[in-house]
Amino acid sequence: MIHKKYMRTMWGGLIFALVSSIVVGIFVLIHWQWLDFVESVVMWNIYITVGSIGGGGILVAIIGYVFAKLTRPHDQGLAELDYEKIKEVIPQFDVWFFKRVMLFNTRGAYIGRSTMEITGVSTFLVSLLSNINFLTPLNYHFHDHTGEHIVTFKRRGWRSAVVDIWDATGRQIGHVEFDELKVLLRFRGYAFVGSGETLEKFRVKSELLFDETDGSGLLDLSSFRNDVKYHYIFRDFQVRVVKFGYPLSEDKGKVALALLLMLNYLSWK
């Protein structure tokens, strides 16, 4: 599955280059027909700028194609979300209009993907804010590779620093509270599992830029646990490995799953 991500990178770069070429063509036509009084130096600066952007798109397309070729032989296929056996996962950003997070096991087999619920033009526009690491008040769903719904989380509102978490049946299983003033550089907050007398609280804190995160036993996220084999699988210099403290069959595990996805949506990587 990881090679498909790079194929999407290739097509995105080609589309970007094509759009840039069309923009240059329109500028040339307008200049020759109606704006011939504009200094040529000004127009050439516009051509060079837009052309450079298009050239960047071609470069991205080439890199995407090469990485797709390199990662295809290491594709380990699909992995079942075996709640008793999966202890570690590797999150990877997908290539799309808005942020999507893919999860793999440590062998590189694809487990599932998290995405936002888009119901129309307005929610699509809101979803674009995820590209600047903003946690939007939309539903974030995680589905395994078969399409089975595992967990959902959602920020309570634009000004809220609380994220509610539900299982596939719609039962609330926990929530996360975080310090919004610090979240641009690091994460400080608490994850709560259950409610009432059964409520459990876990302190969650990360180092600068989310490189290392300590979930007080709920999860442990490390950007430096980089085995060489991960580089060949993902072609990424910094591979984040998340270790769970509980099996994912428990509510704690599902809250941990939502928390790790949330951390990836907020991080700058």
Q: What is the pLDDT of residue 151?
A: 92
pLDDT on residue 149:
92
Residue ranges of the chain with pLDDT lower than 50? Answer: none
SS3 helix, strand, coil % of the chain, rounded to 5? Answer: 40, 25, 35
pLDDT tens digits, residue range 40-99?
666 666 667 767 777 778 888 888 888 888 888 877 888 887 766 778 888 888 878 888
Dump the DSSP string for 185-210.
Answer: T--EEEEEES-GGG-EEEEEEE-GGG
pLDDT at 173: 92
> Tell me, what's the pLDDT at 181?
66
pLDDT for position 142: 94
Among the listed residues 219, 193, 194, the one whose alpha carbon sits nearest the alpha carbon of residue 206: 219
Query: Are the C-beta atoms of residues 58 and 14 closer than 8 Å to each other?
Result: yes
